[in-house]
Structure formats: structure tokens, C-alpha cells
Amino acid sequence: MNLFNVYPLFNINPVKAQGSFLWDEKGEKYLDFYGGHAVISIGHNHPHYQAKLKDQLEKISFYSNSVQNSLQTELAEKLGAISGYYDYSLFLCNSGAEANENALKLASFYNGKSKVLYFSNSFHGRTSAAVSVTDNPKIVAPVNYSERFIKSEFNNINQLEETFKTHGSKISAVIIEGIQGVGGIMIPTIEFLDKIKELCDANNVVLILDEVQSGYGRSGYFFAHQEFGIKADIITTAKGMGNGFPIGGVLISSKFESSYGLLGTTFGGNHLACAAAIAVLDVIKEENLIDNAEKMGAYIEDQVKSFPHIKSIRRKGLMMGIELDRDCAEVRKELLYSHHIFTGNANDKSVLRVLPALNIQKEETDLFINAFKTVLEKI
């Protein structure tokens, strides 16, 4: 049997990782400035993370959600405390797409409505409803298309208001990313978010903030939308939540009532996943990684902003999109193969995505900065 060939792969096979570095099977060392799509939040194989998982492996790895699991309670308490959403409830699942699926379902259960408003350049996942609110026709199969899903232009208040005038009474939820990641690090304006919140409240519409990529301290706030003083009805999270161990979560306002069987999952919130997620929160708090994300992000931006071929930089914390005056593919390849540095791209082919671990240090950022300068000056 062969693998189903859906990923364009770099010819690199990492077999070891530590901190912000990877090593391939040949012993070559690479700087990880992408973190596997912002998944690696506290660095590879952090000692506290390793210890938590090893300790849990020796106890119990999994049982279903038909029994008590005190690790879930510990995780919920710590997440509520560090995020400020202490009065919300937590539903645990396995991925960002699954979190968004459950958020959309919960919103529809709540108000009995079926339409969902989403925005241009969005990415919310590849499962049924999540991909239907993702602005990429190439990955939306015919079975996923429906008139229930309405697209409006990102940061366009006039179009937003017109959409609510036409469909407001039928809209169940508005879903928006705290910062658009795949879309190219596009940041919503405070005016846009304020208007969304106002229209949602006026029309009994649930506001869902997708913080799958922009959450967990990456933006310099625990959740990106918190910079603007917005309070969402539902927040979804995943990527940086488990530092590589699959876990997702839905933070749910107290206005939603739970009932047995309303939501469910087989693997979500299992013992190992909770141990990983607790370790991540411990490290973020103890090492002040939210502050470090802003400090290191600002340092990188300040150092590279005058480099040639850069048109603009969009950044919050360590979530950075560097717009070049050309397709970034060759720059990305040169960084990887000549300088051994992983970076990312976006739907906008000119945008280089930079998403290192939140505990990155100056010495490691300088490796990227110097290599990036060398590559751009050679063009």
C-alpha cells in the first residue's frame, strides 16, 4: 500500500527535535521558524512537556468520556485562569476543524437558525461545515456546498451590514479568525470586530472566534481578539494547545446550556492529550511566553523591515506575514536548502509566514534574520 499522495513534500525526513531545531536522518540541523503551522508553541521536546507525557504514559493513556478524568478538570481550570475566560465551559476534541464543527453545531442548537456568515480568505478546517466556511473552492467538494454558508468580504463593514440586512434573521453564527493565518496574516480592524459584535448581539447571532492558529499566546495576547476588548460567545482552539499532541477545544459562554449527548467525541480529552495541554499552559505561564512572543516578534520585524524586496510586514506577536515583491517560493526554498531554515507560505503566494516557537531566543532569531538578509540581497 502507498500513501495517498495529497502533500507536496520537501525531501527532508526529520528524526529528532529539540527546542527550535530539527535534525534529519543524515544528521543535518535545521532551524524551525514555522513550527508545523504554528503547532509548536513551547519548542520541541521541552523538558517539562516530556516529563508530563512520560509520567502519564506510566499511569493511563486513554479511556473514554464515560468516566471521570481529573486531568480534564485541571486543564479547564488552568485554561480559564490564563485566558481570562474562567466563567466559560470547555469541550475537548482532537483538532481545530473538529472544534469549529462543534462550535457551529452548538450555535445552531442554541438559536435554531441554520445560516453561517464567514469571510473572504478564511480557513477554518477541512471537515464538513468547517470547509464550507473556508474560502478555498479547491478543497470544498460538491457535497460541502450549501446556500446556508454566506461569504462576506473581510474588513468590509458596508458589506457586512448589507449581509445582515438581507439574512440577519436567519444567521445562526458568524465565524472569524482572530488573525487569518492561511489567508496571509490578515488582521481584523477593531471597527470591523466591533460591528460584528454589535450585529450579532442585535440579531441573536452567535459570535465564534476561531483562535486555532492565532491563540495560545502567539499574538502577544492569549487570544488575538483580546487585544481589541471583544468577548466572543464561543472560542475555538487547537494547534499550539498540545505542542504537537493532537487536541482541540471549544470555550463556551455560560449562556449555552449543556445536555447529555449534545456534543461528543471518542478520543477528545484523553489522558495523554490533557497531560500535554496542561504542560503547555504550565510553560507559557512560568516562562512568560506571551510577553516573549511580543518581544521577539517586534525584534524580528525591526531587524528585517528595511531589507530589499519587502513590501509590507503584518505582525502580532510571533504571528508574522512578510509580503515580498514576488512569489516567496524561491525565497522559502533558498532558506530551507541553503540555510536550513523552515518557514511557511500562505494563499497569497507573495507572503512568507513566520511562526516560530513562543520561547524562541535572540540568538535563534538572529540566525533567521541573517539568512533572510543574505537570500534577499542575492535576488
Q: Quick one: pLDDT at residue 234? A: 98
Q: Quick one: pLDDT at residue 378? A: 94
What amino acid occupies position 208?
I
Q: What is the mean pLDDT of residues 81-106?
A: 98
Q: Quick one: pLDDT at residue 284? A: 98
Nearest to 319 by CA among 214, 209, 176: 214
Would you state the cell numbers that stand for residue 1, as one nine-digit string? 500500500
Three-class secondary structure of residue 84 per DSSP: coil
List helix spans (H) across 261-351: 271-286, 289-304, 329-339
Instruction: State the Cα–Cα distance between residues 91 and 101, nearest whole angstrom.
Output: 12
Please report which confidence band the pLDDT of residue 330 belongs to, taking 50, 70 and 90 as the band edges. very high
Each residue's pLDDT tens digit, 228-264: 999 999 999 999 999 999 999 999 999 999 999 999 9
Q: Quick one: pLDDT at residue 354? A: 98
Instruction: State the Cα–Cα distance between residues 135 and 56, nearest whole angstrom.
Output: 40
Average pLDDT, the chain: 97
Instruction: State the Cα–Cα distance between residues 319 and 229, nearest whole angstrom.
Output: 19
- The 10 Å Cβ neighbour count of residue 267 is 16
Q: What is the mean pLDDT of residues 113-120?
A: 98
Q: Which residues pair with 93 in a beta bridge?
A: 248
Each residue's pLDDT tens digit, 179-188: 999 999 999 9
Please report which confidence band the pLDDT of residue 135 belongs to, taking 50, 70 and 90 as the band edges. very high
Q: Quick one: pLDDT at residue 38? A: 97
Q: What is the mean pLDDT of residues 97-111?
A: 98
Q: Quick one: pLDDT at residue 315? A: 98
Q: Quick one: pLDDT at residue 90? A: 98
Please report which confidence band the pLDDT of residue 346 belongs to, taking 50, 70 and 90 as the band edges. very high
Q: Which residues pair with 207 in a beta bridge?
A: 174
140 sits in the region (left: phi over 0; alpha: psi -120 to 50; else beta) called: beta
Give the distance from CA 256 to its chain's centroid.
24
Each residue's pLDDT tens digit, 286-301: 999 999 999 999 999 9
Q: Quick one: pLDDT at residue 328? A: 97
Q: What is the mean pLDDT of residues 126-138?
A: 97
Three-class secondary structure of residue 341 per DSSP: strand
Share of the chain above pLDDT 90, in %: 100
Give the distance from CA 36 to its chain's centroid.
11
The phi, psi pair for 356, rounded to 5°, reads -75, 170
Each residue's pLDDT tens digit, 314-325: 999 999 999 999
Q: Quick one: pLDDT at residue 275? A: 98
Q: Where are the beta strands (DSSP E) in 238-358?
A: 248-252, 310-316, 319-324, 341-342, 351-354
Q: Quick one: pLDDT at residue 71? A: 98
Would you state the cell numbers that stand for residue 286, as one nine-digit string? 512560568
Q: Are strands 341-342 and 29-32 parallel, antiparallel or unpaired?
A: parallel
Give the distance from CA 372 to its chain's centroid.
25
Burial level of 118, CB count in 10 A (0-12/13-18/19+)? buried
Q: Are 227 and 221 contacting, i.e. CB atoms less than 8 angstroms apart?
A: yes
Nearest to 39 by CA among 181, 243, 185, 315: 243
- The 10 Å Cβ neighbour count of residue 21 is 17
**pTM score, whole prediction:** 0.97
Rg, C-alpha atoms of the chain: 21
Q: Are 48 and 282 contacting, i.e. CB atoms less than 8 angstroms apart?
A: yes
Q: Locate cell 509580503: which residue? A: 323
